[in-house]
A and B are shown apart, each in its own frame.
Chain A
Amino acid sequence: MNEYPLIKFTIFFICGIILESILNLPINIIILSILLLFVVALVQIIRRRLIYGNFFVVLLIISVGALNYAFSSIEKVDYPFALPKYRDATLYGKICSIDLIKKDRLNFTVEVDSIKWNETVSKKNLKVNCAILLTGSDLRNIYDKISVGNGVCLKGTLMKARDKRNPGEFDYQEYLFRRGISALFYVHKSDNFILTTEGKIFFPDMVFKIRRSIDDIIFNRHDLMTASLLRGLLLADRNMIDYEIKEKFINAGVIHILAVSGLHVGYIAFIFFVLFQRFNITIKYTLTILGLFAYLVITYSPPSVTRAVAMASVYIVARYIGRNTSTLNTLAIAAFIILIFKPSELFEPGFQLSFAAVLSIVVLTPPINDAITKHELFKKRKWLGNLLLFMVVSLAAQIGTLPFTIIYFHKISLIALFANLIVIPLLGIVVSLGIVALIFSVILPSVGSLYASATILFSHLMFIVTNFFGSIEIAYLRINQFSWYDLFLFYVTMIFVGILFHYYKNVYFRMVVVILSMTIMILFIKLDNYEYFPDGKLSIMAIDVGQGDAFLIRLPDGEYMLIDAGSSTNYFDNGERIIIPLMDFLGVDSIKYGMISHIDNDHYGGFISLIKEDRVNHIFKPAIDSSDRSDVKLENLLWEKGVPFEYYEKKIIKLLNLRLYILNGNNDDIIFDSNDRSGIIKIVYGNTSFIFTGDASKKIEPTLVNRYGEFLHSNVLKVAHHGSNTSTSEKFLEYVNPSYAIISAGEGNHFNHPSQEVIDLLTKKNVQILRTDKQGAILLRSDGENIEVINWKKLESGLIF
């Protein structure tokens, strides 16, 4: 490594980028420091005494890295509008890139000329991600019609992307910002999509057309599942692969194969090499590099492909100019090239995973391989040795990417080694067959379809294997709250152990080193972890499920209660996408008390997934309304899954030092409105109390006041019906007299919840308002005496950053 100056250079360059991303120094200060460094060095050179020469060089490289990042982050965008959502907005602009079609949507990016809503016109220069939400031939017609560069006029909804709303969630908005995209735009009708000008931008349009035709061939020749997989493997677009299948891939520890990587690029390079075999060496190398770049452009250059293509090209160029290069150096060159043009790539998961994997394979494989080949046991049994060698590569990649996988997927796969042993060769077959099928489909369709059937066979085999491995209960281990600081620790420990191993060969010494450093590492990793739900306290988390209710409550005895679970639609199932991942993140296996306040989609919808996944032990719900189909369906599901349930009945549930009061029951006066049948639940813990009112309206409030009077008083009120003005009368509020009011409503929802009337009323009564639409999830904690509001976002961002 000492012999390759660029490796060191790249490391310091990366340090500069990281430092700048933490410190956010302004550009002129960095330029000033670079000048200062030059001056100091110059003075020393003039005085003919350059002390610490290397030190200056290192500082200089770090500053250059920082400067590079600072320049690139000038272009960072944000969401420039006041409201989170504008319905009936009209957008004029030019299409600058188009994604491949999906089942129910077509995504493309538009450079905006102007946006209009009501009478306001905004002429901001920004990029917006647009989606046309249609199905069938309507969508296909638009897909066939559009080209990159077309002028468009769109009518629909303009909104900001989802940021981090709940603990452990992915920040989609930040992800889009880094890509220069400020907002989202949804079109729901085909009439609302109008092409205004036919202009094309030649090169990007050609790339899109090629992608589209390759994709069409793939989807014509294969079944949906294989085609989705092939789209991911060959065109680097894995949006068509189902969420559940991806989860299975994560569990089995083989998610990495869905990223186009060195393997694919290797195949492409091999094909070009064979194709141009007979040409002279200059032509052969040039054509191969051109071919690789063509592939890079066609895949829309994700980081892993960029890395692999850069490495392959460097390797070819090095051969051509007669130089031998080490893989480590090639990797450094690839990183350097990418980071010079786009330093923000360093913070992309794809970049990190790809480079970490290759780096650890390069560093870890040779010594382990040596040990294996030298060992007596494997000299006799060659096949065992070879099997192990194959696993070593996989193991090395696993170790190197471990911290990143934990940060992004919150899981360690325990069977990854075995799964990879089977899945990787299968992947090799699928990719090569897929490419061959594609080529033949163009020149000889009949042969192409034969290859396509073979591809289908092997891809299904791969799905079966992955499904098997991914469904094993103990396949994976959850690790939450793994921060960047922990990642840093992990690598420092690894390097430390590596250095010691290099100098000391004694086996016992090595064992002691490994055990000691592991313990210390785990100890330190635990250090900055934060307990969301500490023992012996009552914690209430208002989960942000958009427009809807969901409250996860941890009772002091360690049991969990969930009041409502948000909505579930064809587009988004809050149970599956928000609540179960959150439960996993917080380490909640199952819910002991599932309270469905009433049968409205935004309250019970998410429960369906929870029930199907066996995550709820007991359900409370209003008495059945046999005229309501969804209620009947829900009860059928409960019977089917054998989940015990009961109807709300005025009663007290005593749990240690906590009391749970259900304040209404089915023998009340007959009520026809579903909202008014909402279960009213009061929790009393020590001197603190909480009241949950579902969607109960003003009609029912007098009854409650008459029946319970002073007993309604609670420290925290869940404002009924998302803060609608049909609920929360002044009188009711006087009786409850809360210090905090939680309003659970969707950002920019079209009911205009919460109403200004209710907000004013609460402000007048001096109640502190907590809104999920404003601040995402809300965490309250009571020790029986006091209630504190906890800012989990601050805690989660970690100690260091």
Chain B
Amino acid sequence: MELINYIDFLLPRFCLHCNIKLNVNEKYLCTYCSDSLRRTNELSLNHLNRIKSLCDCRTLYLFEKDMPIQSLIHNLKYNGIFRIGIYLGRTIGEEYKNIFLDEWHIDSIVPVPLYHSKQAERGYNQSYYIAKGIKSVTGINVFKVLKRIRYTQSQTELTLSERILNVKGAFKIKRFKNVKGKRLLLVDDVITTGSTINECASVLLEAGANKVYAASIAIAGSDSHSIESRNSK
């Protein structure tokens, strides 16, 4: 047992989804809730195939409304618990270490950036912590080469076409040196339609990246049409 676990006596931890008290071995979610997380399969990644700029993509879980995965992501993004990012990043790293290192030969990890005012409001960029988590397992360096130069509206309420327009031209390269000829892994928290990832990837390719891959904690919606139809209601 690590020393930090004794802090449970002062500040006990609770399941982020069902609020029951966690024991020493559980992290963020109780055993029951973490068992109910749904892993991704080949099918769920199908709709990303149309993103030509991306070579390949790996995500851990399926994003489902009102399920433990939503509580995880929500706490990571809006409740200031940035350590969830590191924890899930490690999980991604452990899961796909071989693919990242041996198949994709990733040179560096690139977190999807936030607009500076948004980052100030939130206090941190959750993707950066996911990237750090992956780094701690795989040893691949993290470079913040992207910068969001334009404030973009939250994607959650938009349709696919609106999303593409929304992020168009929102990113810029900061350090070309770290991009040119490199194999890069883009990291984001949730991929929905892939518009953001797509935009980032094309900016990176334009700047001379060799190949761009992507990884995320969760992916939402098995096909883009369902999102479109839901939002148009």
Binding site for B on A (CB under 8 A): 3-6, 277-278, 280-281, 284, 314, 318-319, 321-325, 329, 333
Cross-chain contact B11 with A325 (CB below 8 angstroms): yes
Given contacts A277-B120, A278-B120, A284-B123, are A319 and B80 in contact (CB under 8 A)?
A: yes
**Whole-angstrom distance between the Cβ of A97 and the nearest chain B Cβ:** 32
B96 at interface, CB cutoff 8 A? no
**Contact, CB under 8 Å: A324 / B83:** no
| Interchain CA distance A324-B28 in the complex, whole Å | 11
**CB–CB B14/A321 < 8 A:** no
24 intermolecular pairs with C-beta atoms under 8 Å apart = A3-B14, A3-B21, A4-B12, A5-B9, A5-B12, A6-B10, A277-B120, A280-B124, A281-B82, A281-B124, A314-B11, A318-B11, A319-B80, A321-B11, A321-B83, A322-B81, A322-B83, A323-B7, A323-B12, A323-B13, A324-B14, A325-B11, A329-B11, A333-B10
What are the residues of chain A within 8 A of B123 when measuring CB–CB? Answer: 281, 284
Size category, B interface: 10 to 19
Say whether B84 faces chain A, with CB atoms less than 8 Å apart.
Answer: yes
Nearest chain B residue, comparing its CB with the CB of A5: B9
B91-127 residues at the A interface, CB under 8 angstroms: 120, 123-124
Hey, which chain B residues are within 8 Å of A3, CB to CB? 12, 14, 21
Give CA–CA (A292, B136) in the complex, Å: 33
B10 neighbours in A (Cβ, 8 Å)? 6, 329, 333
CB distance from B29 to the nearest CB of A (A): 13
Query: Apart from A3-B12, A323-B11, A324-B79, what are 7 other A-B pairs with CB-CB below 8 Å?
Result: A3-B21, A6-B9, A281-B123, A318-B11, A321-B11, A324-B14, A329-B12
> Which one of B9, B82, B120 contacts A322 once the chains associate, using CB atoms below 8 Å?
B82
Q: Residue of B at shortest CB range from A285? A: B123
- CA–CA, A441 to B214, complex, Å? 53
Residues of B within 8 A of A319 (CB): 80-81
| B residues in contact with A325, CB < 8 Å | 11
Q: Which residues of B contact A (CB under 8 A)?
A: 4, 7, 9-14, 21, 28, 79-84, 120, 123-124
A321 to B11, CA, bound (A): 10
Q: Which chain B residues border A323 with CB–CB below 8 Å?
A: 7, 11-13
Shortest C-beta distance, A782 to chain B (Å), equals 62
Name the residue on B nearest A9 (C-beta): B9
Given the complex, which residues of B lie within 8 Å of A318, measured CB to CB? Answer: 11
Shortest A310–chain B CB gap in Å is 12
The residue in A280, A322, A323 that gathers the most chain B C-beta atoms within 10 A of its C-beta is A322
**Residues of A with C-beta under 8 A to B120:** 277-278
Q: Give complex CA distance A322, B84 in Å.
A: 8
Rounded to whole Å, the gap between the CB of B22 and the closest CB of chain A is 10
**Smallest CB gap from B86: residue in A:** A322
The 8 A-B residue pairs whose C-beta atoms are closest, nearest first, are A322-B83, A322-B81, A323-B11, A281-B123, A281-B124, A3-B21, A318-B11, A277-B120
Among residues of A, the one whose C-beta sits closest to the C-beta of B11 is A323
Using CB atoms, name the residue of chain B closest to A325: B11
Bound-state Cα–Cα, A278 to B28, Å: 28
Whether A321 lies near B7 (C-beta < 8 A) is yes
Nearest chain B residue, comparing its CB with the CB of A324: B14
A451 to B90, CA, bound (A): 52
A355 nearest CB across to chain B (Å): 18
Q: How far is the CA of A272 from the CA of B7 in the complex (A)?
A: 26
Which chain A residue has the least Cβ–Cβ distance from B121?
A277
Distance (Å) between the CB of A131 and the closest chain B CB?
Answer: 43
Closest residue of B by beta carbon distance from A6: B10
A322 to B123, CA, bound (A): 14
Contacts of A322 in B (CB 8 A): 28, 81-84
Residue on A with the closest CB to B116?
A278
How long is the Cα–Cα vector from A51 to B82 in the complex, in angstroms? 43
C-alpha gap A80/B200 in the complex (Å):
79
Cα A329 to Cα B8 with chains together (Å): 12
- CB neighbours of B83 from chain A (8 A): 321-322
Give chain B residues whose Cβ lies under 8 Å from the Cβ of A284.
Answer: 123
Query: How many angstroms from the CA of A318 to the CA of B10 in the assembled complex?
Result: 10
CB distance from B217 to the nearest CB of A (A): 16
> A711 to nearest B CB, angstroms?
78
Closest Cβ neighbor of B28 among chain A residues: A322
Residue of A nearest to B20 (CB): A3
Complex Cα gap A293–B16 (Å): 31
A-chain residues with CB within 8 Å of residue B21 when the two chains form the complex: 3
Interchain CA distance A278-B122 in the complex, whole Å? 10
User: Measured between alpha carbons, how far is A333 from B10 in the docked complex, in Å?
Assistant: 7
Closest chain B CB from A279 CB (angstroms) = 9
Least CB distance, A11 to chain B, in whole angstroms: 15
Contacting residues, chain A, for B14 (C-beta < 8 A): 3, 324
Closest chain A residue, CB of each to CB of B79: A324
CB distance from B136 to the nearest CB of A (A): 16
Q: Which residues of A contact B80 (CB under 8 A)?
A: 319
B7 contact set on A, CB distance < 8 A? 321, 323
The distance from the CB of B9 to the nearest CB of chain A, in whole angstroms, is: 6
Nearest A residue to B13 via CB reads: A323
Shortest Cβ distance from B17 into chain A, in angstroms?
Answer: 13
How near does chain B come to A507, taking the closest CB pair, in angstroms? 31
Min Cβ gap B221→A in Å is 28
Measured between alpha carbons, how far is A5 from B9 in the docked complex, in Å?
A: 6
Q: Kindly name the residue among B7, B11, B28, B84 whose own CB sees the greatest number of chain A CB atoms within 10 A.
A: B11
* Nearest CB on A from B85, distance (A): 10
Assembled-state Cα–Cα distance A561/B83 (Å)? 74
Residues on the B chain within 8 Å of A5, using CB: 9, 12
Query: What residues of A have a CB within 8 angstroms of the CB of B28 in the complex?
Result: 322
Write the chain B residue with the least CB distance to A280.
B124
Q: Say how far B110's CB is from chain A's closest CB, in angstroms.
A: 18
A284 and B122 alpha carbons, distance in the complex (Å): 12
Distance of A284 Cα from B124 Cα, bound (Å): 11
| A285 nearest CB across to chain B (Å) | 9
A39 CB to nearest B CB, Å: 25
Closest to A332 in B: B10
Q: How far is the CA of A6 from the CA of B8 in the complex (A)?
A: 10
> How far does the Cβ of A290 sit from chain B's closest Cβ, in whole Å?
17
**Complex: how many Å from CA A5 to CA B7?**
11
Shortest Cβ gap from B114 to chain A (Å): 13
Chain A CB within 10 A, most for which of B7, B10, B12, B84: B10
- Report the minimal beta-carbon distance from A287 to chain B, rounded to whole angstroms: 13
A6 to B124, CA, bound (A): 31
Min distance, Cβ B176 to any Cβ of chain A, angstroms: 24
**Nearest neighbor of B21 in chain A, beta-carbon distance:** A3
**Considering the chains assembled together, what is the distance between the CA atoms of A321 and B4 in angstroms?**
10
Give the residues in chain B near A324, CB-CB below 8 Å: 14, 79, 81
Task: Name the A residues within 8 Å of B11 (CB-CB).
Answer: 314, 318, 321, 323, 325, 329, 333
Bound complex: CA of A322 vs CA of B72, how far in Å? Answer: 12
Q: Which residue of A lies closest to B124 (CB)?
A: A281
Bound form: Cα–Cα A277–B121 in Å: 8
